[in-house]
Structure 1
Amino acid sequence: MEKIELKAYGKINLGLDVIRKRPDGYHDLDMIMQMVDVYDDIVITKNKTGKIEVKTDTAVLSNGKDNLAYMAAKMLMDEFKIKDGVNIYINKRIPIAGGMAGGSSDCATTLMGINQLFELGLSKEELMERGVKLGADVPYCVLGGTAIARGIGEVLTPLPAPADCHVIIAKPPVSVSTAYVYGHIKPLEITKRPDIEAMAQSIKDGDLKKMASLIYNVMEDVTVGEYPIISEIKQVMLDNGALNSIMSGSGPTVFGLFDDKEKAQQCVKTLEEKGLTQQLYLTKFHNE
């Protein structure tokens, strides 16, 4: 095999709670992660130069050694003493700096791609163990589907696929620093938190309306204060029939869950007319 083409799927957080700040500076989290059918295309091709070359379709991302896809390839190729090089091309669709783990998903997909391309024989669990060294969301992006995520995000418990629904993903024309949000959140002062256990049970029960009623993200306390447009987008979704709408991750991307496709399509149209978004997708959950 000389070339492999893969899809790196984005995620949303159906629930996100920040429990405490740890002595190491990270935060303990309690989350439910869900992949959606918005993805980056990744093409990995062997070369004979012995070098790792990364290219993307956007000038916003680095093509250098600090790109997570580069780091993923280098990690495995160094470990297994691979002499060939690779060209990695990334076509971005997942919002950048949007709270959807786009960089982590590209990283995880590159780990999976190098594993397949060079027939390294690593299991999903072995890739997840390596991935956490590159980023807290990387193990989940290797696992995929629906999962409870605890610790810094690396302690994962798979869940069954939720009830099917229509999902609108809307990123406003602002970017949020994850470090800024974590730096300003005060876990001890949080008064409303998501009920992760109840949400997990509603997913197991296939109860979409119950699950939707429970979705919540404590990071909105910080991000919405800086970017009120997030609240505007949420309100448009709710006014147009969303079962519920919240921000994903540290933001600013917002998602809404709909049980009626026509209402979802009308909401997309309204958001377009209001000019509130930079990227807008009508999609579904992705569970393989």
Structure 2
Amino acid sequence: MILKAHGKINLSLDIVGKRNDGYHLLEMVMQSLDLHDEVILTEIKKGITLTCNKSYVPEDGRNIAYKAAKLIMDEKNIKKGVDIEITKNIPVSAGLGGGSSSAAAVLEGMNTLFNLKMSKDELMAMGLKLVADVPYFLVGGTALVKGVGEEVIPITPFKDQIVLLVKPSFGVSTKEAYGLFSLDKVKRHVDTAELIDAMEKVDYQKLSYYQRNLLENVVLRKYPILKNIKKTLKRYGAATALMSGSGPTIYGIFENENAAENAAIALDKGGNTVILTKTI
């Protein structure tokens, strides 16, 4: 069974509170990308085997796709095994959800492979036990995501937008980004209703004004090179530019593909990973 595990960008990321257990309460607009990893699932006699085309990706219980397979096998008492083969195209530790997307693909794929007949809601509840954004990847597309990631509300699609992703040579973990953030220092939250209105109207000027990622300022302060990437994207004609998720990937949305290609050439240096893709 061959599955596509699509990447995502955050069109917004607002942090609206914090639970007693330390988890932050979020309100985000998330968007699927054409950029994807490929996940191949094959039934085997027993156990879990995982291989990946990138040597830096763990192929054992540290891998979230492996964890997803183990979780569904344990909870559904599956006696047979599964082989997972991942071809990675999405950069890791990038704020693009590559690991979570593969985990969602494993849950969905094993549900079909082993004829488990689990509902979408059941899969989402299981996914939430792994990582907060797995439920979103089980829905995909354009969605408003709330809480710790459990509430996923599909909204008007924001398809076929030209997106240039720029990930520097280093990664930023979710833990690191949230460790830099302080909720009591937030001066302005995201006006999600106005942001969604801008998306529905494809009003880039309004979109640029209302787009915010509350983790961006603290991550950019620690890694000033990201400010330069953002400025370069704007200089080459990006209608809007923002950090995705916990970073460090900065993306630009372009109205013109030639401008995006020129920006890609300018930014393809210094160890940057530059990917031209589109929203789906």
Regarding TM over 0.5, the answer is yes
The number of equivalent residue pairs is 280
Question: In the alignment, residue 265 of structure 1 is paired with which amino acid?
Answer: E
In the other structure, the counterpart of 2:133 is 137
Question: In the alignment, residue 142 of structure 2 is paired with which amino acid?
Answer: T
- CA shift, 1:163, in A, is 5.5
Where in structure 1 do 4 or more consecutive aligned residues deviate above 6 Å?
none
Percentage of identical aligned residues: 40
On the 8 A contact 1:20/1:188 being kept in 2, the answer is no
Say what the alpha-carbon RMSD is for the aligned residues.
Answer: 1.4
In the other structure, the counterpart of 1:86 is 82
Gaps of 5+ in 2: none
Q: Describe the shift of the 1:276–1:190 C-alpha distance in structure 2 as closer, same or farther (beyond 3 A).
A: farther
Say whether 1:240 aligns with 2:233.
no
Q: Describe the shift of the 1:246–1:227 C-alpha distance in structure 2 as closer, same or farther (beyond 3 A).
A: same
SS of residue matched to 1:216: coil
What's the TM-score once normalised by structure 1's chain length? Answer: 0.93
| Equivalent of residue 66 in structure 1, options 62, 65, 68 | 62
In the other structure, the counterpart of 2:157 is 161
Gaps of 5+ in 1: none
On the 8 A contact 1:163/1:206 being kept in 2, the answer is no
On the 8 A contact 1:224/1:231 being kept in 2, the answer is yes
Counterparts of 1:266-277 in structure 2, within 5 Å, are: 266-272=262-268, 275-277=269-271
Say whether 1:31 aligns with 2:31.
no
On the 8 A contact 2:128/2:149 being kept in 1, the answer is no
On the 8 A contact 2:125/2:150 being kept in 1, the answer is no
Counterparts of 1:91-102 in structure 2, within 5 Å, are: 91-102=87-98
On the 8 A contact 2:204/2:240 being kept in 1, the answer is no
- CA shift, 1:153, in A, is 2.0
SS of residue matched to 1:217: coil
CA distance in 1, matches of 2:6, 2:152: 17
In the other structure, the counterpart of 2:186 is 190
In the other structure, the counterpart of 1:178 is 174
Q: CA-to-partner distance for each residue in 1:166-188, whole Å, 9 max, x for gaps?
A: 10011011111211211221111
What's the TM-score once normalised by structure 2's chain length? Answer: 0.95
Moved more, 6-15 or 209-218: 209-218
Question: In the alignment, residue 34 of structure 1 is paired with which amino acid?
Answer: Q
- CA shift, 1:258, in A, is 0.5
